[in-house]
Amino acid sequence: MADNILEVRHLKKYFKTSRGMLHAVDDINFTLERKKTLGLVGESGCGKSTTGRAILRLLEPTSGEIIFEGKDLNKLSKTQMRHMRKDMQIIFQDPFSSLDPKKTVSQIIAEPIKENKIITDKLLREERVLELMETVGLAERYINTYPHELDGGRRQRIGIARALAMEPKLIVCDEPVSALDVSIQAQILNLLKDLQEKLGLTYIFITHDLSVVNHFSDDIAVMYLGQIVEKAPAEELFDNPIHPYTQALLSAIPIPELGHQRQRVALRGEITSPIEPPEECRFAKRCLMCNPEICKASVPVLMEVSPSHFVACPLKQKEMGLLK
C-alpha cells in the first residue's frame, strides 16, 4: 500500500461576496504519497493558492476533510492545529513581502524555533540558525543583515530556512520561484529538490509555470475555477493530456527552441465567474469542443481513464465509454 501522508476529501472554500458565494475551491479530492511532489497548476484565480492555504488551515475550509498522517485537521482545535503546523510549512511566492523588514535574517529564521519553544537556549538557537543557513546555501556573513539588503534569491532562501526550522514533513510551496530571474530560479529549484531528497520532504508545489511544474512534480493536478479538471503523473499529463483545458494550457507554452511549430489549441471567450457558478462544466464557455447537451447537464466528476490518470470532462468520458 502506498504510504499516503495527506488525503484531501471534498475540500471546499467559499468566500462571501456582495454578489453571492464565490466558489474559490469547490470539491477537491486527492491523495499525496510521502516524499513525492504534487504540482498544482492553473491560471490566476483558479484556486490553487487557496487550496494550499486551506490545507494548512491558514484559511478555514468551508467543508471537507484534510487527513494528514491519519488525523483530520478540520476537527482539530486551534491549539492542536498549532502543534500540527510544525509538520506542515509554507513557502510564499513573494520573498519581498513575506519577510518582516524589521527583523534580521537570524531573527526571522529563529522565530518559529523560539515561538514553539523548540530550543529555548539562545546560543543553541543561534547554532541551529547557522546550520539552517548552511542547509539552504546562505553564507554565514548574512546572519545579521536585514531582508532589504538581500536580493530575491537570497530572500527566498531565508523563507525556505524558516520553513525548514520546524523540521516539517510537508511543505506547501506557493509559487516559490515566480518572482525570481531564470538563473536564480534554477538555483532555488535545485535547492528544493536536494532538500527533498536529503530530508525526505513531501511538497505541494503551486505554480502557473508549466515547464517548472513538469520538471519538479511527480504528479500534476490541473485546476480550473476551483476544481481539478485533470490529474496524472507528470510525464503522462504532458504526453497525453486529455482535458481540453489541459490541452490548451500545454499548447500555449512558448518553447525556447528553433523551428518549434506549435499546434495551439484555441480557446474562446473569457473565464466564467466563480460567483455562484452554474451546475455544469465550468470550462464549457471557453471550450471549442463543448456540446451543451452533455457539458451543461451536470457538474463533471473526475474519473480514472487509465491507471492514475483522472479527467473531469464529460465529453471525453463519454468517448471512452465511461459515461453513459
Sort strands 63-68 and 71-72 into parallel, antiparallel or unpaired: antiparallel
Does position 124 bind other proteins by CB under 8 A? Answer: no
Joined together, the cell numbers standing for residue 240 give 497525453
Question: Do 181 and 2 contact (CB within 8 A), yes or no?
Answer: no
Question: Do 8 and 183 contact (CB within 8 A), yes or no?
Answer: no
Does position 153 bind other proteins by CB under 8 A? Answer: yes
Does position 270 bind other proteins by CB under 8 A? Answer: yes
Question: Do 303 and 318 contact (CB within 8 A), yes or no?
Answer: no
CB of 62: closest distance to other proteins in angstroms? Answer: 25
Contacts of 304 (CB under 8 A, 6+ apart): 310
| Ramachandran quadrant class, 98 (left: phi over 0; alpha: psi -120 to 50; beta: rest) | alpha
Does position 186 bind other proteins by CB under 8 A? Answer: yes
CB of 273: closest distance to other proteins in angstroms? Answer: 11
| Segment lying near other proteins (by CB under 8 A), choices 51-59, 66-74, 257-265, 275-283 | 257-265
| Segment lying near other proteins (by CB under 8 A), choices 91-99, 105-113, 204-212, 300-308 | 204-212
Side chain identity, residue 93: Q
**CA-to-CA distance for 141 and 194, rounded, in angstroms?**
23
From candidates 16, 19, 260, 324, binder to other proteins by CB under 8 A: 260
Whose Cβ is closer to other proteins: residue 254's or residue 321's? 254
CB of 180: closest distance to other proteins in angstroms? Answer: 9
Binding footprint of other proteins on the chain (CB under 8 A): 43-44, 151, 153, 181-187, 189-190, 208, 210-212, 214-216, 234-235, 238, 248-249, 251-258, 260, 264, 267, 270-271
